[in-house]
Amino acid sequence: MERKRAEAALRKADRRKDEFLAMLGHELRNPLGVIKTAAHLLRTDGPPDPELAQLRETIELEVSQMARLLDDLLDISRIERGLIRLKKEPCDLAAIVRQVVESRRPVLEETCLDLSLDVPAQPLWVIGDRTRLAQIVGNLLDNANKFTDRGGQVTVRLSEDLSEKAALLIVRDSGIGIEPALLALVFEPFVQADKSLARSRSGLGLGLALVKGLVELQSGEVGASSDGLGRGSEFTVRLPSAKAPASLVKSNGLAVKATHCRRVLVIEDNSAAAQSLQKFLVKNGHTVEVALRGSDGIEAAQRFQPEIVLCDIGLPGLDGYAVAQALRQEPKLKGAYLIAVSGYGQEGNRRRALEAGFDRYLTKPIDLAELERLFGGTTFDE
């Protein structure tokens, strides 16, 4: 009986931990989203002052770092509980690596690191989740950036092992290296290489643990090697390679007009978030209306006839799920593309949103570059 009570207490504590992490993520994502959008608007609309430009870039970089730390914290909990669901499809790993490296290049150059890239010119196909593959590459680059002194070197190399039918990704740095005692534990959660009081190189100790979990979920392997302290580190990811897909272009969404100007309805109860998002969208040529409540959003949609609806989930009164269900019942809004926007990033929230009628689920803070691509592409791909 004592053991059963102890087990029940552990399950209850585990459930409360997950609930706390979910709420923490939601509460932190909302202000991060506002700051990120405001910084973007300042960058595009602000005065051309070099000092101000540097401050704006600093804000954007730090917000991105906070968002990544938050994602790492939530993702490691999901992996441990088996709650990560991957959207596996044919992916050109060469293109993903190239894109992630170029997106991280300014961050590494900020710390005076020499970043070199060696990837095949032709596609290297694997079956995996595109977003999670990019996260693997990004986490390895963040780790190299964190543990390599200014003036150091980081090399990213991608190749195909034809004998084993595998894609081989190697990220090598000239950083502080890994002592032998720590090498066997480097992929364990919360392991810290920096034990100094300053903790100048430490994060949450989750980045490499996430890499291992995400690689294994995609039938791959990851390993680490180092010649010792002060002699750099090398991380190797091996993923099964795949044949090129029969069709390289898949279009199953709403076509975007050549002008890319859309009628957009934003339903968001956080007025600061709604206003900053509205300014961003208007600046990009869209016609935008804002509603601060779910019921007002439904009324505005009936009148405004939006092509795209960006709807928060945690609305007062009618929540986002109810709003989506109501909009799907309106014959005139059948063609509207519904995008859920939420501070909750659990798979259950995503699944429930799609079941309610949303076409896409975006987690705050919204990746504004992704939003621009979504609005400006040729199709809304699922």
For 263-376, CATH number out of 3.40.50.2300, 3.20.20.70, 1.10.620.20, 3.40.50.12660 equals 3.40.50.2300
pLDDT value of position 249: 39
Pull the structure tokens for residue 2. Answer: 């004592």
Q: In 3D, which of 235, 29, 2 has the Cα closest to residue 138? A: 235
Q: Can you give the pLDDT at residue 154? A: 96
For the segment(s) 2-80, the CATH number from 1.25.40, 2.40.50, 1.10.287, 1.10.10 is 1.10.287
d(CA 268, CA 84): 27
Among all chains, which residue has been given the structure tokens 């795209």? 308
Bridge partner list, 114: 153
CB atoms within 10 A of CB 303: 10
| HSE value, Cβ hemisphere, 13 Å, CA-based, for 311 | 37
268 burial level (CB within 10 Å; 0-12, 13-18, 19+):
buried
What size, in residues, is the chain? 382
- Helix (H) or strand (E) run with residue 311 in it: strand 308-312
Q: 308-312 and 287-291 as β-strands: parallel, antiparallel, unpaired?
A: unpaired
CA distance 37 to 363: 14
> Per-residue pLDDT tens for 38-55?
777 777 766 677 777 777
Cα–Cα distance measured from residue 31 to residue 26, given in angstroms and rounded to the nearest whole number: 9
Low-confidence ranges of the chain (pLDDT < 70): 14-15, 17-19, 21-26, 45-47, 61, 65, 68-69, 73, 77, 80-83, 190-205, 246-260, 345, 376-382
Report angle CA 342, 348, 352 to the nearest 5 degrees: 75
Q: How many angstroms separate the Cα of 207 from the Cα of each of 65, 171, 189?
A: 12, 14, 8
Handedness of CA 105, 107, 108, 112 (dihedral sign): positive
Fold for 88-193+202-240, please state it: Heat Shock Protein 90 (3.30.565)
pLDDT of 3 reads: 84
Instruction: In whole angstroms, give the CA distance from residue 313 to residue 320.
Output: 4
Q: Which helix (H) or strand (E) holds 295?
A: helix 294-304
The contacts of residue 264 (CB under 8 Å, 6+ apart) are 281, 286, 287, 288, 289, 306, 307, 308, 309, 310
Query: Whole-model pTM above 0.85?
Result: no
Predicted pLDDT at 22: 64
Q: If you ran DSSP here, which 8-state letter would residue 263 be given? A: E
Query: For the chain, which residues make up each domain, given as ranges?
Result: 2-80, 88-193+202-240, 263-376
